[in-house]
Amino acid sequence: MRVNSLLKYILYKNYVHALKVFSLFSSGDQSFALSHARLAKFIPPGLLGRNGLRRCKFDKIFQFGDSISDTGNLIREGTGGARTAFARPPYGETFFKNATGRCSNGMLMIDYNALAAGLPLLNPYENAAANFRHGVNFAVASSTALSFQALAAKDIVSPVTNSSLDVQLDWMSRHLSSICHSNKDCAKKLKHSLFMVGEIGGNDYNYAFLQGKGIEEVKKMVPEVVSAIRNAVKSKFLSQVTTWLYSHAQYLGFDLANKQKACCGTGGDYDFSIMNMCWGPEVPVCADPSRHISWDGIHLMHEAYRRMAAWLIHSIIPGLKCLY
């Protein structure tokens, strides 16, 4: 059962009023003994109660994307994934006290979104032993919007993973086939689900530039990348949130002097060097992570993601038009 045909069926049957499909541009089972009561204190302020995401009564969340949302898929992709920096400290050390595959020192926006909806943290699809009762995270760090084949045709290599957006959609199709007896049954089971897509697409351009493509060549990729995700992504949403976060850094409790410096890194004006990144030997971690926005010069801190999640949820609640 293909995802696209399923969604078309749901729309045809007028389930659209109940199926909350909303796009955001934005190690081990996640039920690892952290109770929801303990996690609740980390929910962004103002997102509980009748004005929060919980009012929509979602029972499942399905996430697609890249390192902004990956909660442990990449590190489970064969031996190569297990050797990535995200599979070991200092990643995850501030909140989880160990690496979970998240590209941050703690939780990501999808984690806060799930908590705000009253759901457990989403388990990664590649963790076959995990509980997927409340949804699945299909996002893979370093993934692209364009397929491996589409990039190869442009003489661009995806160096870390081939789990592009189309692969993630195939995973979703397989998952639905395993839990649904028919399209009608799937429509019923997805009736109160939230689908979140993004951020994804940035790596397509990153890899092109890193492999010597010029600006004009990369510009020609834009329509194709946008086309790959146009039904799921608000293309400017994440950049708006990031702009808001940096412009309000001082008022949100971040250190103004360090707002563009990496917490885990060294070198230059921004404590970042492509030759000696966070996972390198003897690369220091800042004394107070809560005062920084950037974790490793590429990804953000878990406190920054908490603030961004609050901004995002407040922004999407009106569009969801919850009927419950």
Q: Is the dihedral of CA 140, 146, 152, 155 positive or negative?
A: negative
Q: Are strands 60-64 and 20-21 parallel, antiparallel or unpaired?
A: unpaired
Q: Which residue(s) pair with 64 in the sheet? A: 197
- Residue from 27, 67, 104, 158 carrying the catalytic annotation: 67
Give catalytic status of residue 299 as yes or no.
yes
Residues 145, 224 contacting (CB under 8 angstroms):
no
- Residue from 23, 26, 70, 299 carrying the catalytic annotation: 299
- Residue from 23, 104, 296, 302 carrying the catalytic annotation: 296
Residues 146, 222 contacting (CB under 8 angstroms):
no
Place of tokens 């007028």: 14
The residue among 56, 65, 63 whose CA lies nearest residue 191 is 56
The residue among 237, 264, 239, 309 whose CA lies nearest residue 99 is 264
Q: Token digits for 228?
A: 């790959």
SS3 171: helix
Residues 61, 109 contacting (CB under 8 angstroms):
no
The residue among 81, 108, 110 whose CA lies nearest residue 92 is 108
d(CA 91, CA 229): 29
The residue among 144, 148, 196, 156 whose CA lies nearest residue 172 is 196
Residues annotated as catalytic are: 67, 296, 299
